[in-house]
């Protein structure tokens, strides 16, 4: 039998007690400094942001890969919390991925959407767009597109290493001997491939970087590939996998429970699953918080 759900007041009390004991709270809250640049790799524009503590020092690094339709300012809630806790947070996203869902966004923001005489037509158009979105999602999550994203991510990490070694501006404060790699949605698919998921394609060198751990938010799991028992066997890094019981999406995974399969099949040892009751896909991008 599942335990009874806590009330909001009970949740707050437990959180306060947990943080009072030092749980997940940095001993210091840092002021942060940020930069944003556009990098170019194989004629593809890469949107890059770096947020790090503003005071002198060498800080551990979190590399964050956003979701489909998000730019390098995505995941602001997590990125700012990490940076204020003493991490340098590097976010990289191909510009074309950030623009992938613009058509859907323009439809959702249509100022005429509330007019009664256009309501039925709007619903019809929305149904067509969501059908298109599922098709688009399948294209972007395909093996061919994953290969491109792996290449862009590996190159970006190599470029990051070069800038750190050159002591270029804020990059000089990054400690590349302590790197965590994190991703959400399509970024989670890329991260999983970079840290050992079997994707039947070569994974290039990561600029000499060796991630110490991974955070996978709303993982992408394709049960139809039929190799679920072996696909995750080389994902041996310490790992936090985060999903929710309502974590489906309109362009890929329609059954939320599928996402937890990654945690079930990765090798045991320092693997953690955070499963949030009722949490939808957008929550893991910071929406609704």
Predicted confidence (pLDDT) per residue in 106-144, tens digit? 545 444 545 544 555 545 445 445 556 666 767 888 899
Beta-strand relationship, 32-41 and 271-280: unpaired
How many domains does the chain contain in total?
A: 1
pLDDT greater than 90 at residue 185: yes
Average pLDDT over residues 165-173: 94
pLDDT tens for each residue of 236-261 = 999 999 999 999 887 766 677 889 98
Residue 16: inside a domain: no
Average pLDDT over residues 5-18: 65
What is the maximum span of the chain, computed from C-alpha positions, in angstroms?
Answer: 61
Residue 250: inside a domain: yes
- Residue 189's domain comprises 23-95+143-285
d(CA 261, CA 269): 16
Average pLDDT over residues 39-43: 96
d(CA 37, CA 55): 21
Residue 110: inside a domain: no
d(CA 188, CA 183): 4
Residue 273: inside a domain: yes
pLDDT at 246: 92
Average pLDDT over residues 157-166: 96
pLDDT at 255: 76
Residue 262: inside a domain: yes
Residue 138: inside a domain: no
Q: Is 59 helix (H, G, I), strand (E, B) or coil?
A: strand
CB 135 within 8 A of CB 101: no
Residue 36: inside a domain: yes
CB 228 within 8 A of CB 255: no
**pTM to 2 decimals?**
0.83
Average pLDDT over residues 180-203: 94
Residue 109: inside a domain: no
pLDDT at 125: 44
pLDDT greater than 90 at residue 35: yes
Query: C-alpha 172: how far from its chain's center?
Result: 25
Q: Which two tokens stand for residue 206?
A: 């990561």
Rg (CA), the chain: 20
pLDDT tens for each residue of 136-147 = 767 888 899 999
pLDDT at 44: 96
Residue 107's H or E segment, with its range, is helix 102-108
Average pLDDT over residues 38-49: 97
Among residues 58, 51, 49, 59, the alpha carbon closest in space to that of 31 is found at: 51
* Residue whose entry in the numeric block shows the structure tokens 């792996």: 150
d(CA 248, CA 257): 8
Average pLDDT over residues 169-186: 96
d(CA 222, CA 192): 12
Task: Give bridge partners of residue 90 from the DSSP assignment.
Answer: 50, 63
CATH number at residue 235: 3.40.50.1820
pLDDT at 160: 97
pLDDT at 66: 96
pLDDT at 134: 65
pLDDT at 79: 93
């Amino acid at each position: 039998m599942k335990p009874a759900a806590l009330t909001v007041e009970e949740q707050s009390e437990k959180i306060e007690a947990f943080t009072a004991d030092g749980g997940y709270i940095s001993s210091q809250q840092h002021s942060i400094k940020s930069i944003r640049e556009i990098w170019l790799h194989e004629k593809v524009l890469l949107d890059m942001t770096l947020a790090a503590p503003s005071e002198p020092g060498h800080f551990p690094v979190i590399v964050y890969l956003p979701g489909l339709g998000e730019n390098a300012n995505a995941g602001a809630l997590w990125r700012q919390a990490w940076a204020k806790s003493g991490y340098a947070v590097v976010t990289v996203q191909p510009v074309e991925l950030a623009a992938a869902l613009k058509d859907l966004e323009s439809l959702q923001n249509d100022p005429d959407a509330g007019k009664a005489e256009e309501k039925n037509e709007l619903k019809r158009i929305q149904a067509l767009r969501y059908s298109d979105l599922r098709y688009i999602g399948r294209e972007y999550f395909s093996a061919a597109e994953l290969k491109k994203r792996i290449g862009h991510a590996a190159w970006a990490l190599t470029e990051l290493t070069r800038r750190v070694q050159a002591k270029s501006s804020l990059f000089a404060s990054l400690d590349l001997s302590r790197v965590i790699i994190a991703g959400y949605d399509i970024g989670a698919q890329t991260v999983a491939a970079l840290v050992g998921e079997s994707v039947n394609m070569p994974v290039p060198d990561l600029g000499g970087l060796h991630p110490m751990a991974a955070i996978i938010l709303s993982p992408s799991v394709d049960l139809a590939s039929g190799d679920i028992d072996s696909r995750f066997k080389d994902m041996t890094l310490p790992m936090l996998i985060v999903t929710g019981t309502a974590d489906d999406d309109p362009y890929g995974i329609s059954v939320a429970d599928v996402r937890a399969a990654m945690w079930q099949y990765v090798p045991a040892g320092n693997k953690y699953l955070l499963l949030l009751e009722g949490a939808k896909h957008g929550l893991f991008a910071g929406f609704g918080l």
